[in-house]
Chains A and B, each alone.
Chain A
Amino acid sequence: MLTARYIANDKLMPWLLSLTETRQVLAPVQAGGQTLFAPLDENSRLDLKGLADASAKAALLPRCETLFEFHYSKGEGVPSKTELEVRETLPDQDTFLFGARPCDAKGFTVFDRVYDAGTRRDIYYCTRRDKTLVAALACTEPADTCFCNRVGGGPGDTDGADMLFTPVDGGYVIESVTEKGEAFLAEQPLMEAEERKEEARKVREAVSEAMPGGDPLGGTEGEVLRLFDDKEFWGGVAAKCLSCGACSYLCPTCYCFNMTDEVNGDDGVRVRTWDNCMSFQFTLEGSGHNPRDGKAQRMRNRIGHKFSYYPELHDGNLACVGCGRCIVHCPVSMDVRAIVAQARDRALAKEEHAND
């Protein structure tokens, strides 16, 4: 990290509000009994106690965004001829994303590998990524559903963030992670706090040490895949699933989308919206054939994608950051940690059996 600053607790909200003059500030605020990332204003009630209910992914991949607009008009001269005009609509808003947890920030790195992959750049995502500063907030009270430390992260990690806020006595130590973060901090009226870096480091270390461990859930690519044809296993795992999709919509690493057109008279837009592989429609083909026509197949794809396919394609990085939102919010209490652990145990047991 480059340099450190300090902001006192009572200065935080005024400072964030001052930022809203030049950009959108997204922060976890209380809304209808939930804590969600939303644009900050004077009336917002910041909630920095724990993990927000939904992830911060909408900052970079909105739930619904217009890709382009189109307009039909009557052609000149020839009345039967219609003309069509298409106009792309790129994001243009600067954003300060405050209070993303380290797992949320790491979720962006999962996106980056797919949306910003060499020659294949998703210009909407990449533009937003460029225009957004990610200010992560180190965790001091991990929930018992948190398992970032079992999937290659940690409550004080900085992957995917431009700067890290660490709560210390009286306020926060802010450390820059990227040059973009450093440049931003250099312009801010914040106190230098080189001497408090150590204090911040100790806070992070203490949280990290206190967090319950457990077997790493990475390195199970082969096991998950070896169970591919194990109908009994996936059927059992998925039996109580309601296909509601809450797990995917709340997940900071789920990035699948749909594209649809919306029209109003002669005008229309093509929008992209979050989609979800737990839904029956996701793979339904025009012929009526559906390669994933059961819950078991869909669950297998979701777990397989996060713990097997994605890591295989992206140097062992998992597409799960351990935020535990899917565990907290699943109406039938599915636990992704348990599913992966069971998959591994079952695959290993099968292997031993085969070697007997």
Chain B
Amino acid sequence: MTSTDATNLYLPDMATIQEVIQETSNIKTFRITLNNPDAMRNFRFEPGQVGQLSVFGVGESTFVINSSPTRMDYLQFSVMRVGELTEKLHKLRVGDQVGVRAPLGNCFPYEDMKGKDIVFVGGGIGMAPLRTLLLYMLDNRDDYGKISLLYGARSPSDMAFSYELPEWLGREDMTTELTVDNGTPDWKHHVGLIPNVLKEMAPSAENAFAVTCGPPIMIKFTIEALHSLGFKDEQIITTLEKRMKCGVGICGRCNIGTKYVCKDGPVFTNAQLKELPNEL
């Protein structure tokens, strides 16, 4: 017996890859559309929510929807190649089919952030979740105060979204700073670790929010730097990663105490993180 009247939490929607962008040597961006035109038209999500992408025969993994809900031509996922599924994803081409279960999880508190200055600090693939919120804010520019972005990667060739950087650098209504650990002769931006560049930038903590995402070690020192600039834990927002399966709070894999990263997260303020048992 098959029935489609009740929603099946585990059954992915079928989607087609419309575009593949080689971002760096190990990151690819996939732009996909749901095969069912009604489903695509009615698809709603909020900045920060994630999806489970399926390669049928390999399995599922979690990725941030890094396009903006204000631009619904496609759903965008950027995928770093680290293991089995991401390896297979990287082999797919335009026209290939994937499954998608989305949107899952909570979102950035973009309503509470209205009227505030916003400081984005992204490292490596951690730029992906920031991108969705940044685009959303740029598309609702009047709702937000000063917007600044600090994006860092290992080297210039490790910078994802490089085709968008000139626009961000050129915009009058935002400040963009780039940094790499290892520069090249033609690199015109910062060389140095993100937290150090952040301290040089010295954004004001007054009436501001900082959103940071990246490798755990980067987040740790970025939060320290933000503290030294006067940011309180409630003003610092980050996203957590945990190995996930169901994505809806049932399979029991992603809990930290009573919180499930898949449904109570992935977005948390640093104040919320401090309330959690120490098991990150």
Report Cα–Cα, A258/B2, bound state, in Å.
23
- Judging by beta carbons under 8 Å apart, are A88 and B251 in contact? no
Please give me the residue from chain A that is nearest to B240 by CB atom.
Answer: A291
- SS class of chain B's interface: helix, strand, loop or mixed? loop
Write the A285-310 contact mask toward B (1 if CB under 8 angstroms, else 0): 11101011000010001001100110
In the complex the two chains form, is B11's CB within 8 Å of A86's CB? yes
Inter-chain contact A84/B246, CB cutoff 8 Å = no
Quick check: A70 and B246 within 8 Å, CB to CB? no
B235 to chain A, nearest CB (A): 25
- Cβ of B252 within 8 Å of any chain A Cβ, yes or no, is yes
Known A87-B2, A309-B257; judge A286-B250 contact (CB<8 A): no
Q: Is B195 positioned at the interface, with any CB of A under 8 Å from its CB?
A: no
Q: How many A-B residue pairs have C-beta atoms within 8 angstroms? Tell me.
A: 128
In the complex, what residues of B have CB within 8 A of residue A315's CB?
none
Number of interface residues of A (CB under 8 A): 54
8 Å CB contact of B278 from A115, A122, A228, A255: A228
Q: Which residue of A lies closest to B245 (CB)?
A: A259
Per the bound structure, the CA–CA distance linking A286 and B63 in Å amounts to 12
Instruction: For the complex formed, measure the closest distance between the CB of B6 and the CB atoms of chain A, giving whole angstroms.
Output: 5
The complex places the Cα of A313 from the Cα of B257 at a distance, in Å, of 10
- When distances are taken between beta carbons in the complex, the residues of chain A under 8 Å from B3 are 88, 90
Residues B277 and A277 in contact, CB atoms below 8 Å apart: no
What is the predominant secondary structure among interface residues of chain A facing chain B? mixed
- Chain A CB count within 10 A is highest, among B6, B54, B251, for B251
Which residues of A in the span 55-110 have a Cβ within 8 Å of any Cβ on B?
67-68, 70, 72, 81-84, 86-90, 92
Interface residues of B in 109-133 (CB under 8 A from A): none
Asked if A84 and B14 make an inter-chain contact with CB atoms under 8 angstroms apart, the answer reads: yes
Chain A residues whose C-beta falls within 8 Å of the C-beta of B12 in the assembled complex: 86
- The reply to whether the CB of A31 lies closer than 8 angstroms to some CB of chain B is no
**Residue B273 at the A interface, CB < 8 A?**
no
Whether a CB of chain B sits under 8 angstroms from the CB of A257 is yes
B11 touches A67 (CB 8 A): yes
A275-B243 Cα distance, complex, nearest whole Å? 13
Chain B residues whose CB sits within 8 angstroms of the CB of A72 once the complex forms: 56-57
Stretch at the interface among B92-100, B146-154, B167-175: B92-100
**Known contacts being A114-B250, A120-B9, A225-B277, is A284 close to B243, with CB within 8 Å?**
yes
Docked CA distance A221–B279 (Å): 17
7 residue pairs from A and B, CB less than 8 Å apart: A114-B250, A123-B6, A228-B257, A259-B245, A270-B56, A270-B59, A286-B82
Q: Can you add 15 more A-B contacts, CB < 8 Å, to A88-B2, A229-B277?
A: A68-B10, A82-B96, A86-B14, A88-B3, A88-B11, A90-B2, A114-B250, A123-B9, A261-B58, A275-B253, A277-B252, A277-B253, A282-B243, A286-B61, A287-B82
